[in-house]
């Protein structure tokens, strides 16, 4: 089985892991409560025991039942309890000590451990938020300083080109420009440092801190699952030592306990909550000082240029939408219910769509089966009519490449063999040259029905067609009163066959309705 890890596969599912771990503790306490009530009911009649099983059986549909092995094992235990044949008393003290007491103590330990891991996760997110705010403030400061430097640049250029401006005014504007430019450079360096620090902290957050916290949650959840399996076994062992008569039912409980698989449960959690999104990448440096012209100063720090003169990609600019994707601990908006599940993450959407496809396929297959059931019923009723029809039902197989609109036919293998009736004389209706002339047409005649050979016919006369018993042929010309019907084999060979040797099904109209003759 492939390994599944909360830290790498569910890095962006903190909210769902919070709910899942809480659900795990609630389930453990629910099972503890079940054991306690079981201790009380064991001293009463079988009816009370069955009522308890009924109370704790899942009230959801089969498709909505939990898939976790611990849940399945628990419900298997309930089913075994329902099979108990009689009433007897149990040593409640031993079961209460080994199962109920252990579960209650373990539940308190789980609550404390879960609280600690979640606090660590929230602290990590708060620290990342703080780094973000520092970087964002330095960015805004850099932007303001650049704008002020641009204003000073414009003022200096205006005074420098003004012949009426005094030297002191020009020197003052130059000094102001120097101060603003120097301040912009310092803001730029600070912004670059804060951005680098944020990107580094973000990488450590999603690749070190969160994976470790989630791994601790996974270990805790798996230990909870193992503990449930152990208590299921203890639950069964106590009963087996006390009541040998119901050992078979208890063995079923042991089997259910053995079916508990913490890795499988973790895989189900991953498959249920995995979004399929990639972690966010680093944010690019946004330079606002490119429009500034430099005055002579040895202390100014040059602005690093983008390689190749490429401008920053606006898609990577820090926006409100991108910012929102960073937070794993905030509440997500409730997604609308769409038919195409486009509101879900890619992995969950694929599963929901596949489930919908399977559901529609089952419905389609049900409709197809119902259609053929109706057709078979209709064909069975029609098969009882006809003067030349044998007593057994006759199967009309649609030739290859052509199927009757009413559906396929079912043959009856045990058809009673009968002697063929008298064959009509082909010389009374058609001369050999007439047969040959009719088959010389370039365009084949259209198919107007089907027939099935009731008897074999050797077709020795010229213009007649050899056929075997039960062979299905196309009808291309009806009997004109001479006792012969023109037919065509699936191979394309045409000829006349005795009408009394075949059972004919004619197509009544363009819709493909069949009339048996």
From first to last of its 517 residues, what are the pLDDT tens digits of the chain? 456 777 678 777 888 888 899 999 999 999 999 888 888 777 777 677 778 888 888 676 666 666 788 888 988 888 887 876 455 666 677 778 888 888 999 999 999 999 998 898 888 888 999 999 999 999 999 999 999 989 889 988 888 888 887 888 888 888 988 998 999 899 999 999 999 999 998 898 888 888 888 888 889 889 999 999 999 888 888 877 777 777 777 788 889 999 999 998 898 888 888 877 778 888 888 888 877 765 544 444 444 444 444 444 444 444 444 444 433 344 444 545 566 777 677 777 777 788 888 888 888 888 888 887 787 777 765 554 444 433 333 333 333 333 333 333 334 333 344 455 656 655 444 444 444 444 444 567 888 999 999 999 998 888 899 999 999 999 999 998 889 999 999 888 999 999 999 999 887 653 344 444 4
- Distances in whole angstroms, Cα of residue 39 to Cα of each of 43, 242, 390: 8, 14, 72
Q: How far apart are CA 159 and CA 164, in angstroms?
A: 8
Compute the residue count for the chain. Answer: 517
- What's the confidence (pLDDT) of residue 267? 87
Closest CA to 66 of 36, 105, 23: 23
Residue 495, SS3 per DSSP: strand
- Distances in whole angstroms, Cα of residue 12 to Cα of each of 23, 155, 347, 498: 19, 51, 13, 79
Is the whole-model pTM more than 0.75?
Answer: no
CB contact at 8 A, 273 and 6? no
- What's the confidence (pLDDT) of residue 417? 42
Q: How far apart are CA 206 and CA 187, in angstroms?
A: 28
- What's the confidence (pLDDT) of residue 406? 35
CA angle 197, 331, 207 (to 5 degrees): 35
- What's the confidence (pLDDT) of residue 159? 85
CA angle 156, 161, 162 (to 5 degrees): 100
Furthest C-alpha separation in the chain: 135
Give the other-Cβ count within 10 Å of 284's Cβ. Answer: 16
Q: Compute the Cα dihedral for 111, 234, 88, 91 and give only its sign.
A: negative
H helix intervals, 162-276:
167-204, 210-242, 247-258, 262-273
- Distances in whole angstroms, Cα of residue 326 to Cα of each of 80, 195, 215: 48, 15, 20
Listed in sequence order, the residues at least 6 apart from 455 whose beta carbon sits closer than 8 Å to its beta carbon are 418, 419, 420, 469, 501
- What's the confidence (pLDDT) of residue 261? 92
CA torsion 250-256-262-268 (nearest 10°) is -160
Q: How far apart are CA 113 and CA 115, in angstroms?
A: 5
Q: How far apart are CA 11 and CA 206, in angstroms?
A: 7
φ, ψ (nearest 5 deg) of residue 10: -125, 35
């Amino acid at each position: 089985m492939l390994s599944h890890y909360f830290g790498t596969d569910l890095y962006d599912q903190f909210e769902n892991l919070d709910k899942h771990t809480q659900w795990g503790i609630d389930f453990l306490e629910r099972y503890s409560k079940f054991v306690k009530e079981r201790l009380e009911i064991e001293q009463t009649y079988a009816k009370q025991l069955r009522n308890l099983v009924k109370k704790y059986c899942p009230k959801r549909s089969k498709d909505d039942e939990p898939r976790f092995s611990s849940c399945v094992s628990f419900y298997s235990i309930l089913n075994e309890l329902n099979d108990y044949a009689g009433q007897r008393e149990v040593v409640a003290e031993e079961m209460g000590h080994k199962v109920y007491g252990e579960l209650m103590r373990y539940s308190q330990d789980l609550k404390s451990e879960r609280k600690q891991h979640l606090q660590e996760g929230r602290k990590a997110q708060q620290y990342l938020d703080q780094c973000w705010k520092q970087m964002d403030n330095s960015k805004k400061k850099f932007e303001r300083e650049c704008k002020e430097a641009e204003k000073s640049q414009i003022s200096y250029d205006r005074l420098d080109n003004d012949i009426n401006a005094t030297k002191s005014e020009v020197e003052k504007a130059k000094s102001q420009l120097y101060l603003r430019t120097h301040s912009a450079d310092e803001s730029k360096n600070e912004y670059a440092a804060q951005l680098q620090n944020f990107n580094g902290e973000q990488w450590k957050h999603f690749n070190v801190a969160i994976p470790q916290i989630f791994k601790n949650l996974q270990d805790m959840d798996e230990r909870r699952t193992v503990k449930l399996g152990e208590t299921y076994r203890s639950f069964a062992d106590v009963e087996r030592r006390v009541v040998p008569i119901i050992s078979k039912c208890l063995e079923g409980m042991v089997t259910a306990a053995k079916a508990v698989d913490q890795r499988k449960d973790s895989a189900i959690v991953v498959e249920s909550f995995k979004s399929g999104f990639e972690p966010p990448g680093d944010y690019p440096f946004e330079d606002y000082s490119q429009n500034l012209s430099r005055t002579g100063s040895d202390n100014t720090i040059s602005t690093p240029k983008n390689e190749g003169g490429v401008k920053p990609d606006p898609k990577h600019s820090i926006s409100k939408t991108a910012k929102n994707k960073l937070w794993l601990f905030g509440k997500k908006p409730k997604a609308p219910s769409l038919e195409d599940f486009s509101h879900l993450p890619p992995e969950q959407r694929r599963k929901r769509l596949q489930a919908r496809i399977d559901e529609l396929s089952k419905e389609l297959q049900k409709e197809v089966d119902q259609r053929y059931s109706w057709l078979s019923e209709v064909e069975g009723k029609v098969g009882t009519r006809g003067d030349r029809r044998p007593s057994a039902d006759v199967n009309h197989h649609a030739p290859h490449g052509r199927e009757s609109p009413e559906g396929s036919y079912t043959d009856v293998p045990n058809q009673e063999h009968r002697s063929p009736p008298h064959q009509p004389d082909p010389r009374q209706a058609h001369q050999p040259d007439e047969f040959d002339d009719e088959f010389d047409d370039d365009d084949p005649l259209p198919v107007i029905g089907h027939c099935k050979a009731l008897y074999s016919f050797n077709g020795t006369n010229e213009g007649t067609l050899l056929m075997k018993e039960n062979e299905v042929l196309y009808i291309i010309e009806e009997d004109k009163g001479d006792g012969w019907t023109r037919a065509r084999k699936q191979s394309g060979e045409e000829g006349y066959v005795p009408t009394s040797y075949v059972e004919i099904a004619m197509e009544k109209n363009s819709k493909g309705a069949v009339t048996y003759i």
